[in-house]
């Protein structure tokens, strides 16, 4: 049965989200009412909203920062991918209750593939250890040679690495370089010099600490051939571009494909990817061809045929 009802993106501040324009265009394209909205919620408001969402007619939710872990914990059912990552970015609400999914790995795969950055055996630096980073880690673990996780709270980074090392599909070596002594900075410089990809899943300047103080990351050591990916999107230069002084791919392609995967989970219809891409591009005031489409990424990690 096709989903009808209300849909929304929820987060701490989603006032600038491009998801409503993209998802409402998709709903209209398949003959469903455009009922997708944005809800900015305080952390204290989120549990109440999630509990009331079914009664208020919501049938699907996108969940963004910083609530992806809570969305996992509060769902009645979790997909295997959500269980593996401990984070959810999509809720489907039906007769069984709230089901949690994570379509972010599909989006990241599309982002890397469209830029020609996905190849076996690469070494990657992942900035952050929250919900977005966990989804990125799940995708990276299946093809990267090694992943260094840099995060202000080393315990969170170690937990992320441990969960990936236990996953049966993991092929990567995982490392957390805790900056406890000045000599550790040298090891960090060597890791940066070796990296083929840097993925920013946190978007803040302070992602590392040394002896209790903020630590500057060794951007000058980064190989000029390394590709830079920022999971955020928008018109302003990304934090990663500012830090490095180099161009970084932004998260528009990831947003498109994770949104398309969520749409298919909600409606059980093939997402009108081109319609969604055009609406997203118009919302971001950029050419449509600047946002690549990779249909094969949709359902790669979170199968599109998952049924309630």
Contact 9, 64 (CB under 8 A): yes
Predicted pLDDT at 307: 43
Alpha helices (runs of H) in the chain, residue ranges in sequence order:
19-29, 46-52, 68-74, 80-85, 104-114, 131-140, 154-165, 184-194, 239-244, 252-267, 273-284
Alpha helices (runs of H) in 166-236, residue ranges in sequence order:
184-194
> What tens digit of pLDDT does each residue of 119-131 get?
678 999 999 899 9
Cα gap 259→240, rounded to integer Å: 23
> Token digits for 214?
């903020």
Q: Is 76 known to be catalytic? A: no
> Token digits for 183?
């000599």
pTM of the model: 0.92
Q: Which domains does the chain have, with CATH numbers?
A: 6-105+252-297 (3.40.50.10860), 118-244 (3.40.50.720)
Q: Catalytic pick from 59, 68, 118, 134?
A: 68
Low-confidence ranges of the chain (pLDDT < 50): 1, 307-308
> What tens digit of pLDDT does each residue of 220-251 get?
899 999 999 999 887 677 778 888 888 889 99
């Amino acid at each position: 049965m096709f989903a009808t009802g209300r849909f929304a993106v929820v987060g701490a501040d989603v006032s600038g989200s491009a998801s409503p324009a993209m998802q409402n265009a998709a709903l209209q394209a398949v003959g469903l009412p455009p009922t997708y909205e944005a809800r900015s919620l305080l952390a204290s408001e989120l549990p109440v909203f999630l509990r009331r969402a079914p009664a208020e007619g919501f049938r699907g939710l996108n969940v963004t920062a910083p609530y992806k872990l809570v969305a996992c914990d509060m769902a009645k059912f979790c997909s295997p991918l959500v269980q593996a990552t401990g984070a959810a970015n999509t809720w489907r609400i039906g007769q069984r209750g709230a089901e949690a999914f994570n379509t972010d790995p599909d989006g990241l795969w599309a982002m890397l593939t469209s830029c020609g950055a996905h190849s076996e055996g690469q070494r990657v630096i992942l900035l952050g250890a929250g919900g977005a980073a966990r989804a990125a880690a799940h995708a990276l673990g299946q093809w990267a040679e090694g992943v260094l996780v840099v995060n202000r709270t080393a315990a969170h980074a170690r937990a992320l690495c441990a969960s990936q090392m236990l996953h049966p599909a993991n092929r990567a070596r995982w490392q957390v370089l805790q900056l406890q002594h000045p000599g550790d900075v040298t090891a960090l410089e060597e890791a940066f010099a070796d990296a083929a990809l840097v993925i920013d899943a946190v978007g803040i300047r302070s992602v590392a600490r040394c002896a209790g103080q903020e630590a500057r990351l060794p951007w000058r050591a980064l190989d000029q051939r390394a590709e830079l990916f920022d999971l955020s999107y928008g018109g302003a230069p990304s934090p990663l571009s500012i830090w490095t002084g180099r161009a970084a791919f932004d998260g528009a392609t990831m947003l498109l494909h994770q949104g398309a995967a969520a749409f298919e989970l909600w409606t059980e219809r093939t997402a009108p990817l081109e319609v969604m891409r055009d609406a997203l591009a118009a919302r971001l005031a950029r050419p449509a061809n600047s946002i690549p489409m990779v249909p094969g990424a949709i359902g790669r990690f979170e199968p599109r045929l998952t049924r309630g």
